[in-house]
Structure 1
Amino acid sequence: MMSRRKFLKQSSQTLGAAALLSSLGRIVPAQAAAGDYKALVCIFLAGGNDSNNTVIPYDDYAAYQAVRGTGALLNIPQAQLLQIAAASHQDKLFGLHPSLPELQALYASGRLAVLANVGTLVRPITKTELLGSGPRPENLFSHSDQQAQWQSATASSSGQSMPTGWGGRLADDIGSAYNPGISFPMVTSLAGVTLFSTGKTTSPIVPGATLIGLDGKDPVATAAYNAVRKLQGLDLGMTLVKAKSAITSSAIDNSRTLQSALKNAPALSTPFPGTSIGGQLKTAASIIAARGTIGLSRQIFFCTLGGFDTHAGQPGTQSSLLAQLSQAMKAFYDATAELGVEANVTTFTLSDFNRTFQPNSGLGTDHAWGSHHFILGGAVNGGDFYGRFPALQLKGPDDLTGEGRWIPTTSVDEYGAKLAEWFGAADLAAAFPNLGNFDTGRTDLAFMKAG
């Protein structure tokens, strides 16, 4: 049984998150046709994943080994790499980190694609321009700034009159068209209230704290819940208090609606790993299973896996984190297949930045720029690489600083826009205001199937 003290503590978390939500009303249950349903699932690798040790050129292994050789202890022996081919890159062979066997299998089956060298950009730019006065994103190697820029699809950390994320803006753009008459949130954040999930009119539902003690099974929790609702019903003649009370009430109502929908959804037989990212993706799969009750034909999910800031002790840390990622993504894909929506759900990764190709002195790497990412789903043109892989050469044409900080050749805007286009966005510029700075006709970014 939940104690009164525990309930009050957890309720404060719930109400704090609820205060950030816009006016969320009760949903009207409706049946969402599987053929019309689509979901985007973002996995943010917080801290900056070292993609130089995630995707490694197998044919040109010597260039990798020359910098990350055995003396640095960051070198992954060629024999341990999980080989994958890249037809659009002159049939070159690459190797995945040995902790990614599940992703290797998904790649081989045509369900997983790799997008090379993505990052925050103001516009396409060369090394010569950057070393001159060419525009670059603000605070390039700062965790907080680069996380904000990846999630907002801007190259600025300041001056935004209304800070919003591209997931939230995408929901702003298409919510009424695809989810008419449904006031249940289109965006679900399984990592707290995040910038990515917040639009001008969109706010996420945040399962977890908002579901605590609302099932009516615990008498102490139920009594406290009823007391909160009674207080909310009092007319104190205070406009701001009444407005906040209405927001809180709606948030709690949505949480109870979600809890009821999850209770009545078909149980998943797909096993998930007992990790944080496994739990988040299991919740996302459960909510997708409940889509018929919830009635949404478009949904966006945000998950996170942290710990990638590997300035020291990188080999063991990254190996563990990538294993968690690979196992959880495979379980999630299997769950969507179990539900018959594997072609309707696309999962993709984001991260603060890549890490320096040149190791540091502490068995780790430092903050860098362009990185490689995974895109997974039945609608993905998988089994191939997209974008342009950088030249792994210190002080080479793709290295900004001489330590292996790759200048991105694909922007966050271009990456997100391709996902949004598949999702059904009516106005890509609404979600990606700087998209006009880039070539939207690129043929090397066709990682999503039409429709």
Structure 2
Amino acid sequence: MHLIQPALHSRRAFLRRSGQLALSGTALPFALNLAAIGEAAAFNATDYKALVCVFLYGGNDYANTVVTYDDPSYNLYSTIRGGGAGQTAGGIALAKSALTPTLLNPTTALPGARQYALHPSMTGLASLFNLGHAAVQLNVGPLVVPLTRTQYNSADRSTWPLPPKLFSHNDQQSIWQSSSPEGSTIGWGGNLGDLALGGNSNSLFTCISVTGNAVFLSGDSALQYQVSTGGAVAINSVKSNVYGSAAVKAAMATLVQQSRTNLLENEYNRVTTRAVTAESQVTSALASYPAANAPFSTFPASNPLADQLKMVARLIAARSALGATRQVFMVSIGGFDLHDNLISQHPTLLGRVSDAMTAFYNATAALGVADKVTAFTASDFGRTLASNGDGADHGWGSHHLMVGGAVKGAAFYGTPPPVSVGNTAAPEDQWHVGQGRLLPSTSVDQYAAALARWFGVADSELAGILPNLGHFGAAAGRPDYPSDLGFMR
């Protein structure tokens, strides 16, 4: 009854059908023209907006990222994670005194006097939060329908379906990015790109990855364009002399781009031609925004995520030359699968995330587009609150950050989860499914919908992008799971 639904919005369904009809050689141009008309209507504003997904591969530990700080909750956290007496560090618990510099001060206090701090290495993002440029979404994760712990434990999966293949890295990465497990070919970032294509004069630069191939940016019609931290990826035999010979280079350029009578050969050369043209366009556009110049020169060195976000900032600066008014980007950082060495390795990773995202926000502010660019974190899953001795194991819900001038910052969204690992009927044990694996109180679909609405997606289009969204919100009889989380202006 509640199984994940196929794509519902008419444009995506129409494009799929017309793509199949295009094998006859007649339907595709007509379909794309109609789609462009619709997309132009949906995204007819002339302003610029960009979404930037910062994916933390491996499953980030929520409890040491957004750390409970008020005394009652902190003492529970410290006890569960092996902290020492007097709120000192121990096991995988952080000392409370180390959290004071990164204490988050929301404009509206949380119920029950709950407080949170960021990890001590995240001073930059803590400052952005307190300045009103960042916010935290509490306990978000994949859900098909709202669930209680009893419903999670139910054998009735037709009424209370679970996201498929919970706690699996590859599958949960894919579900976060596409609502489907590994093998999915369409992501919700790409679906946003599908809708935005008609507003960009060059549709190829709608969805851009600086982190390799990712299903998040693959749409029904939007293509995922990949760049490196150094810029567009060139085809060497077309870009440079071959064996020192310009003649060989010219011959190679002709061979890989000329029209062919064979259908597959011609398509291969058409794609190659597109790649060559795009590389030239991107290289030319970025030349006006050298990495050595401010505001790009302020990104921290020896930080792979900062290198990726620096490239995103340069591409945003070059948006006019690239013909883009709506863009979706993806960057990532790995290493978060910390079953071991959580205390020794997590600080470096979170420091890189904080430093990179802070520098990126500052760059967008310097470019005058801070309110036009929203960055947000995502990850495979959270981890257990319980320690396994030197780390934490695979979990489910997690806390995530949204950064940008359009974010209603200095605020927490969602419900603070109780700090518990018990297995009783007590209220505090109902928001985890064992060992402190958070049972999400906010779904990824709700999280994505808030970002999509800001991006320009109409409510009528959301169901086709986020197939489970219809199970949440007042219209579904669940006002406790709002369809609009409210964290975007």
- With the length of structure 2 as denominator, give the TM-score of the two structures: 0.79
Which amino acid is 1:169 matched to? Answer: N
Aligned pairs for 1:175-324 within 5 A: 175-176=197-198, 178-179=199-200, 181-208=201-228, 210-212=232-234, 219-220=241-242, 223=246, 226-265=250-289, 267-270=293-296, 271-274=298-301, 275-324=303-352
Call closer, same or farther: CA 1:236–1:340 in 2, change over 3 Å.
Answer: closer
CA distance in 1, matches of 2:284, 2:238: 11
1:121 pairs, out of 130, 140, 143, with 143
Secondary structure, aligned partner of 2:137:
strand
Q: Is 1:446 matched with 2:480? A: no
Asked if structure 2 preserves the Cα contact closer than 8 Å seen for 1:34 and 1:341, the reply is: no
Call closer, same or farther: CA 1:225–1:375 in 2, change over 3 Å.
Answer: farther
Identity %: 40
**Structure 1: runs of 5+ lacking an equivalent:** 1-22, 24-32
Q: Is 1:89 matched with 2:117? A: no
Deviation digits for residues 76-96 of structure 1, max 9, x if unmatched?
Answer: 000001211342513532111
Asked if structure 2 preserves the Cα contact closer than 8 Å seen for 1:355 and 1:365, the reply is: yes
Call closer, same or farther: CA 1:233–1:405 in 2, change over 3 Å.
Answer: closer
Secondary structure, aligned partner of 1:375:
strand
Asked if structure 2 preserves the Cα contact closer than 8 Å seen for 1:45 and 1:306, the reply is: yes
1:135 pairs, out of 155, 161, 167, with 161
Structure 1 position 345, deviation (Å): 0.3
Call closer, same or farther: CA 1:297–1:215 in 2, change over 3 Å.
Answer: farther
1:66 pairs, out of 61, 68, 79, with 79
Call closer, same or farther: CA 1:121–1:289 in 2, change over 3 Å.
Answer: same
Aligned pairs for 1:30-179 within 5 A: 36-59=47-70, 60-70=73-83, 73-81=91-99, 82-86=102-106, 87-90=108-111, 92-132=114-154, 133=156, 134-152=160-178, 154=179, 156-157=180-181, 163-176=185-198, 178-179=199-200
Secondary structure, aligned partner of 1:184:
helix
Which amino acid is 1:429 matched to? Answer: A
2:448 pairs, out of 409, 416, 424, with 416
Structure 1 position 222, deviation (Å): 8.6
In structure 2, the residue matched to 1:407 is 439
CA distance in 1, matches of 2:245, 2:449: 45
Secondary structure, aligned partner of 1:346:
strand
CA distance in 1, matches of 2:245, 2:314: 25
For CA contacts below 8 A with separation 6 or more, give which structure has more relative contact order: 1
Call closer, same or farther: CA 1:34–1:124 in 2, change over 3 Å.
Answer: closer
Which amino acid is 1:347 matched to? Answer: A
Asked if structure 1 preserves the Cα contact closer than 8 Å seen for 2:149 and 2:430, the reply is: yes
1:386 pairs, out of 397, 405, 413, with 413
Asked if structure 2 preserves the Cα contact closer than 8 Å seen for 1:215 and 1:256, the reply is: no
CA distance in 2, matches of 1:174, 1:392: 42
Which amino acid is 1:76 matched to? Answer: L
Structure 1 position 225, deviation (Å): 5.2
Asked if structure 2 preserves the Cα contact closer than 8 Å seen for 1:121 and 1:136, the reply is: yes
Which amino acid is 2:400 matched to? Answer: H
Structure 1 position 34, deviation (Å): 11
**Structure 2: runs of 5+ lacking an equivalent:** 1-28, 30-43, 85-89, 423-428
Structure 1 position 216, deviation (Å): 8.9
Structure 1 position 69, deviation (Å): 2.4
Call closer, same or farther: CA 1:231–1:213 in 2, change over 3 Å.
Answer: closer
Structure 1 position 431, deviation (Å): 1.5
Which amino acid is 1:388 matched to? Answer: T
CA distance in 2, matches of 1:135, 1:74: 33
CA distance in 2, matches of 1:198, 1:366: 30
Deviation digits for residues 133-161 of structure 1, max 9, x if unmatched?
Answer: 32111110000000000000x2x427x8x
Call closer, same or farther: CA 1:98–1:210 in 2, change over 3 Å.
Answer: same
CA distance in 2, matches of 1:201, 1:79: 51
Secondary structure, aligned partner of 1:36:
coil
CA distance in 2, matches of 1:392, 1:262: 48
CA distance in 1, matches of 2:151, 2:416: 20
Call closer, same or farther: CA 1:210–1:244 in 2, change over 3 Å.
Answer: farther
Q: Report how many residues are paired.
A: 411
